[in-house]
């Protein structure tokens, strides 16, 4: 059984996996975890349950201590121990790399989606597949037919020379990685449309979100998608404008729009988007509904 630890839910602590995959460890879900140390403790508890002789597939920069009873399987980009991605280059809309171990190239791999984070995800999947008995060459060949899940750098269409994508990214590391991946598609301009998710996350991470969004040429920020929270107590007065202001502070004079509602964002995007642009909606709420709306407006 291969399990990827997710810091959002402590239910994984009840598992006894043979293979565990750790892609990263980072503070999030502030209503559950009060500090990064608490997150690392939760991951440590989970990894301690890996069965003796099992494997822990872990990104070399994951930042969590590995248990002594399991076989560590590190992975990363460039030279180093474990499975490595070398000689990265474009392959259509995705990425090609040489899969290597201990300096020996094992296979040429194509990941149909752009971005170094997707290369790292591919390495983790390959290492986990090998740990449960799948030959690496077979696993590597299968990656070429991989299709990303919905809302993960999902191409939603093109109209009037504008490419429209959607991604579920809702915290700063994800946003930054997704925008870097979008840059690999060489747009004339990169237009990021972000909907913050949860008042607590917005309060605690708005500065980091603003810095990440400043990687776009044009930034549109909507109001917070509340999900299960209410703007009460310490969350009273928290809005997406915190993120918009932080993005403006980091954008070096590039356009940053504070457009609280979907209707306002739709109307502005109709004027902002131009041929050659790539527009990407970002967030875990309902911001993705803007994709179809924008494509309809551009076609009209």
Could you tell me if 114 and 188 lie in one domain? no
CA 201 vs. chain centroid, Å, equals: 16
For residue 149, is it within any domain?
no
For residue 122, is it within any domain?
yes
pTM > 0.85: yes
Count of structural domains, the chain: 2
Could you tell me if 14 and 129 lie in one domain? yes
Cβ atoms within 10 Å, residue 120: 21
Rg of the chain on CA atoms, in Å: 20
Res 3: pLDDT = 44
Could you tell me if 160 and 276 lie in one domain? yes
Confidence of residue 2 (pLDDT cuts 50, 70, 90): very low
For residue 288, is it within any domain?
yes
Q: If we measure between CA atoms, which residue out of 102, 137, 143, 145 comes closest to residue 119?
A: 143
Could you tell me if 11 and 139 lie in one domain? yes
For position 127, which CATH number holds? 3.40.1190.10
Could you tell me if 7 and 136 lie in one domain? yes
For position 182, which CATH number holds? 3.90.190.20
For residue 148, is it within any domain?
no
Cβ atoms within 10 Å, residue 269: 25
Last residue of a domain, one of 114, 143, 172: 143
Could you tell me if 257 and 120 lie in one domain? no
What are 105-156's pLDDT values in tens digits? 999 999 999 999 999 999 999 999 999 999 999 999 999 888 888 999 999 9
For residue 24, is it within any domain?
yes
Contact 29, 11 (CB under 8 A): no
Phi, psi dihedrals of residue 210, rounded to the nearest 5°: -60, -45
Which residues are bridge partners to 22 per DSSP? 58
| H or E element in which residue 88 lies | strand 83-91
Q: If we measure between CA atoms, which residue out of 94, 88, 278, 295 comes closest to residue 186?
A: 278
Query: What are the angstrom distances between the C-alpha of 245 and each of 144, 192, 208, 229, 273?
Result: 41, 15, 12, 22, 22
Q: If we measure between CA atoms, which residue out of 252, 187, 254, 186 comes closest to residue 220?
A: 254
Could you tell me if 13 and 97 lie in one domain? yes
Last residue of a domain, one of 121, 143, 165: 143
The 3-state DSSP class for residue 10 equals helix
What are 87-108's pLDDT values in tens digits? 999 998 899 999 999 889 999 9
Which residues are bridge partners to 104 per DSSP? 101
Could you tell me if 19 and 115 lie in one domain? yes
Contact 124, 59 (CB under 8 A): yes
For residue 110, is it within any domain?
yes
**Cα angle for residues 189, 280, 92 (degrees, 5° grid):** 75
Question: What torsion do the CA atoms of 77, 81, 87, 93 make, to the nearest 10 degrees?
Answer: -40
What are 31-83's pLDDT values in tens digits? 788 899 999 998 888 888 898 889 999 999 888 888 778 899 999 999 999 99
pLDDT at residue 286 is higher than 50: yes
Could you tell me if 131 and 174 lie in one domain? no
Could you tell me if 178 and 272 lie in one domain? yes
Q: What average pLDDT does the chain have?
A: 92
Cβ atoms within 10 Å, residue 185: 16
**Burial per residue of 158-176, b for 16 or more beta-carbon CB atoms within 10 angstroms, e otherwise:** eeeebbbbbbbbbbbebbb
Last residue of a domain, one of 143, 167, 187: 143
- Give me the helices (H) in the chain, please: 36-47, 116-131, 136-143, 172-183, 199-213, 241-250, 262-272, 289-299
Could you tell me if 97 and 51 lie in one domain? yes
Could you tell me if 215 and 285 lie in one domain? yes
State the residue range of the domain holding 185: 154-299
For residue 120, is it within any domain?
yes
The 3-state DSSP class for residue 146 equals coil
Confidence of residue 11 (pLDDT cuts 50, 70, 90): low
Confidence of residue 14 (pLDDT cuts 50, 70, 90): low
- State how far the Cα of 267 lies from the Cα of 196, in Å rounded to an integer: 19
């Amino acid at each position: 059984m291969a399990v990827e630890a997710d810091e959002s839910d402590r239910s994984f602590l009840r598992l006894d996996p043979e293979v565990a995959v750790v892609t990263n460890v980072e503070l999030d879900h502030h209503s559950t975890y009060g500090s990064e140390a608490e997150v690392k403790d939760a991951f440590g508890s989970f990894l301690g349950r890996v069965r003796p002789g099992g494997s822990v597939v872990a990104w070399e920069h994951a930042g969590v201590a590995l248990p002594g009873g399991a076989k560590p399987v590190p992975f990363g980009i460039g030279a180093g121990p474990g499975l490595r991605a070398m000689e990265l280059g474009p392959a259509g809309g995705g990425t090609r790399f040489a899969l290597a171990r201990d300096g020996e190239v094992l296979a040429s791999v194509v990941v149909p989606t752009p971005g170094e984070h997707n290369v790292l995800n591919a390495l983790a999947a390959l290492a986990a597949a090998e740990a449960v008995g799948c030959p690496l060459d077979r696993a590597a060949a299968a990656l070429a037919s991989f299709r990303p899940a919905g809302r993960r750098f999902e191409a939603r269409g093109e109209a009037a020379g504008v490419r429209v994508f959607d991604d579920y990214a809702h915290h700063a590391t994800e946003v930054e990685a997704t925008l870097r991946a979008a840059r690999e598609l060489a747009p004339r301009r990169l237009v990021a449309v972000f909907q913050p998710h949860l008042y607590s996350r917005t309060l605690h991470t708005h500065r980091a979100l603003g810095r990440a969004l400043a990687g776009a040429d044009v930034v549109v920020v909507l109001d917070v998608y509340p999900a299960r929270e209410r703007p009460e107590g310490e969350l009273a007065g928290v809005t997406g404008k915190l993120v918009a202001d932080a993005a403006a502070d980091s954008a070096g004079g590039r356009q940053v729009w504070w457009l609280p509602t979907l209707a306002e964002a739709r109307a502005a995007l109709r004027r902002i988007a131009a041929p050659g642009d790539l527009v990407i909606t970002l967030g875990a709420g309902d911001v993705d509904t803007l994709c179809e709306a924008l494509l309809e407006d551009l076609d009209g």
